[in-house]
Chains A and B, each alone.
Chain A
């Protein structure tokens, strides 16, 4: 149980285009989803927290207009990187938690974004 998937696993896009990453909780209802960014050989940095049906809460320094987060259902959250630039290239990881999971987040496998 508690499986989280991400799609796509890898994506390459051209500078200036937008790309959408999906995060799905496959066998539980995720009341809260988190989006992280991880640069090579570095730790995870929380970008935003989203609760189903509400606007996402962004961490300081994260551009909300650039990283659009939607959490329209209890099993799906999306992260859209708008007008991507090479510096947006990174590993993006989502996680999900539920009211029943108490203090535990279940992580997706990550999406490697490369902007050329």
Chain B
């Protein structure tokens, strides 16, 4: 079974400050890991994904995440927050291709950006 834990349901950052969203996973097979962003009343948009290539993954909107197997983590960072980064962020894990790409989501972290 797989699971994802996102530490902190809410994160408040000042505009221009570092954004750090934590994600830890549990998986019995090599995982495929994703970060999604959701704006109010909208679907999910993929920020970035890890699929066993480079451990440091760069995504859209200046976000990046690092896969650390020893820590079973895939934390999301952005050096300088913008007001437009205020949204809900979800970390997700997928099993291998044979499992039909089913995603297991973490509980989400809501980011508030203060001017």
Contacts and interface: CB of A to CB of B under 8 A. Distances in A.
B22 to A, nearest CB: 15
A95 B34 CA distance: 14
A18 interface: no
A46 B43 contact: no
B100 A105 contact: no
Given A49-B100, A105-B101, A110 B107 contact: no
Contacts of A107: 36, 43-45
Interface string A78-116: 000000000000010101010000111111111010000
Contacts of A41: 110
Interface string B82-100: 0000000010001001001
Interface in B40-97: 41-46, 49, 51, 90, 94, 97
Contacts, number: 56
B114 interface: no
Contacts of A97: 101
Contact of B32 (A51, A103, A109): A103
B90 A43 contact: yes
Interface of A: 4, 6, 32, 34, 41-46, 49, 51, 91, 93, 95, 97, 102-110, 112
Interface of B: 32, 34, 36, 41-46, 49, 51, 90, 94, 97, 100-108, 110
Given A46-B104, A102-B51, 17 more contacts: A4-B43, A6-B43, A34-B102, A42-B107, A43-B108, A46-B102, A93-B44, A95-B44, A97-B101, A103-B51, A104-B46, A107-B43, A107-B45, A109-B43, A110-B41, A110-B42, A112-B41
